[in-house]
Each structure stands twice: as structure tokens, then as C-alpha cells.
Structure 1
Amino acid sequence: MKILVVEDDARIADVVRRALVEAGYAVDLAATAPAGIEAVEVQAYDLVVLDLMLPGSPNGGLDVCAAVRARTADLPVLMLTALGSTRMRVRGLDAGADDYLVKPFHIAELLARVRALLRRAPRAQPVILRAQGVALDPATRTAERGGRTIALTAKEFAVLEYLMRNAGQIVSTSELIDHAWDSNYEGFSNVVQTYVRYLRQKLTAPGEPEVIETRRGSGYTIAADP
């Protein structure tokens, strides 16, 4: 899953980014309100972590939140701010934020709130993803098949999760890169092929059918359960 963090404090932005990346999310950063607005207009995100006090526009993060809501009602917004008064919380929630976390905060709570918002998002249903005998739990970030638990790296989980959320559809290589890597990724072009190979090795025991199908020239797909 891909998260946009809009935060003008470079230290806080880096701490949040590293925590989210370690938890398996792809993360883009923006440091001003206009940069945040531009990001949500050109990229698809699963969640926005948004500072309230941002430079570049009269109402800072409220303007970014308004831009998000003008585009979609479904994209979860978690607002971060040092302004913890009831009045400011109400302003943030009325502007369209889904949750509010006051600085300073514990990273564990931030991650828990991110998981909760992603579970509640319409595209995050069902809670347990199931396809072709694989059960994937985004909350605990675990995978199972045939009664065995499958250990996945954060990036393997991100790739498999996106394929399973789009079960029955063909997902292109560029689409997987957009959702499982951040927008600054400039690595080798066959990175998706490499991670699909890793997943196949882990998901498929002897005698089991492959879960991930390659559609040559188009991308990858996991067949949806009936």
C-alpha cells in the first residue's frame, strides 16, 4: 500500500517515513501544502498522513484535506498536529480528516491508527483477503496457505497484497511499482519479476498450483475465488 506523508518538519517526516517503510508501506513525502495537493492529484494513494500547519497556502493542511475530499470521499486522512485544542480537532475533522493525532506521538500509536484507517477504507474490505487458497491478513501482515504460515518480507507482502486486492484483474508491472514502491524509485526494471519469483517460491509447495499467473505482455494476476 502507498501512503503520502505531508509534513514540513524534515525530522518528523523522516521518522514517520522510516516507520511506515519498515512496516511495509511505500511512502512519498511532501513538505508544503501545494506539493501535497499536487501529489494527490497525480498519484493514487491508500492513505494520507497530513500535518495541519503547512506552508504554502492560507489554511495549510486544511487546504490539502479539502483537495483530497474534492477528489474522493474514500481516501483516509490522518491529521497530525501540535495544535491539540478541541477547536482545532473539530476544524480538522470538519475539513474531512478521518482521524487526528496530536504531536508528540508514539510511533506505535501512529501505526495502529494507520492500520485501523486502512481496515475501514472501502477498498480495504474484506479484512482477510482470500484467493486461490491463500489467506492474507493486512492487520497482522501474515499469509497462510494449506494450513502453513508463510513468512514474507515487507516488499513481498506489499506486492502480494496489491495483487490480491485486485484478484481477477490483470495488474501491470508499472502499476505494481506505483503501489509498492515510492515515486522516487529508479531501480532495475525487472524488480517486479524478481519479487513475483520470490512469492511463487514461498507460496507454492510441491504439488500445489501456482497462485500468481503471468499474462505475457500485460502483467500479473491472481484468479478471484468464485
Structure 2
Amino acid sequence: MNRRTLLPLGDSRHEPYNAPRGTCPSCGSGEVVHLIIGMPIGQDVMDGDPDWVHWVGCMHPGFDRECYACGATWNSRAVESPRPIRLLSEVGVSFALLPVPNLVTDDEPYTHLVDVELLTHDRLVRYLARTLSRDTLVRLSEAWTQAAHDTYPEVTIPAIQDDGAGLAVLITESTPDLVTLEISIETDLSGDAPGQDGVVFDVPRSALTDAAHAVEGWLG
């Protein structure tokens, strides 16, 4: 007769937790905590895990990584990030909003964390981890859609400003085919070394329509 050996209740084999700790996508710190859904059997199992692994039971907070250094929270499972919002002139000058992937800011749920990129003939600069409001994205989408069709968008469309990101977007001129954009950004949001950076360039009206569609991808 075949016999099956049963392990005593609670006697389960626990594989050591070996996922890399990683770094914070917001501040770059290594003080990252892993939040694991469920509850292991036996205190000895929990004692064998690194001190930066926290078991959270059945009530998961909606993210599985947290940074002790800056408080940012995010999900480790990669989700498809929206494509960058980029406006490019015919001579190679551009302005772009680049999404910071997988980052959730619970303190400001109606914001997006972005890198602001300015490109000219002789330089490329990025202002990192700026907080851009969802309302600003909505206004950019509406403004660029309207600017693609209005005869004089510099008259009909007001400047769009986001104080949290230190960003301002203004339409200054237009022709039947092109619209002139003036992009301004504060170089230091802390106020310790105030300054302004920016670019002025012409973009085809069709490019404004494409950029508005890219914004809609961020808004879901």
C-alpha cells in the first residue's frame, strides 16, 4: 500500500525573499520598502525576510513599493507608460513632457510627475520630476486642438501656466501653416537660485493635433 507523508500543519518550505531592493524612481534613494500581499505561516518565516520587506495581509494599499527617504509610492509591475508629449519644429528645436514611469503620489492624486525637456541646436536640458496638474494637461489638449484650427490662436488662446511645475506655454504668432510657441520654465522651484529658461519655436499646426492626442493618452 502506498503511503503519503503529510507535513505537519504550518510546516511549509519558505523560499528566501530574493527580489532586488531597487531604488526610488523619484529621488534615487535605496531606502525602498517592499509591501507583500498576504501573510506567511509562522513567525520564523517572517523573521527570515529582510527588514525592508513588509507583509500587509489581505488589504493591499494599491502600491507595492514605498520610499522611506521621500515618501513616494509606486508599483513594481511595469505598466505601459503613456508616450511622451513632444512638439518638434522643422529645424529641430523641441519641447517635451516625459512621464516618470510607475510613480504614484498619494498626496497629490490629480497630478503627474514629468521631466520637462528643452532641445535646441546646441543643448539638451531636462528639468526632472516636476509636478504637473491634470487640469494643466486638459487645458493643453484643448488649447492645442483649438490652435490647430483657429485663424489667430495667439489672440483666442490664453497662456497656460502651471505653478507647481514652474511651466508656462504661450502662443505668440501664427501663419496659415505654423504656430509659434514660447515655452518658459523656472529653473529652480526652491527659490534658492531663481531663474528662467525656455525656447521659442514654430511648429506645424498638424503637430499640435498630434500632441493633443498624446495628452489624451495621459488622461486615460
TM-score (norm 2): 0.29
Greater helix share, structure number: 1
Identify which of structures 1 and 2 has the higher relative contact order when contacts are C-alpha pairs closer than 8 Å and 6+ apart. 1
Greater strand share, structure number: 2
Structure with greater Cα Rg: 2
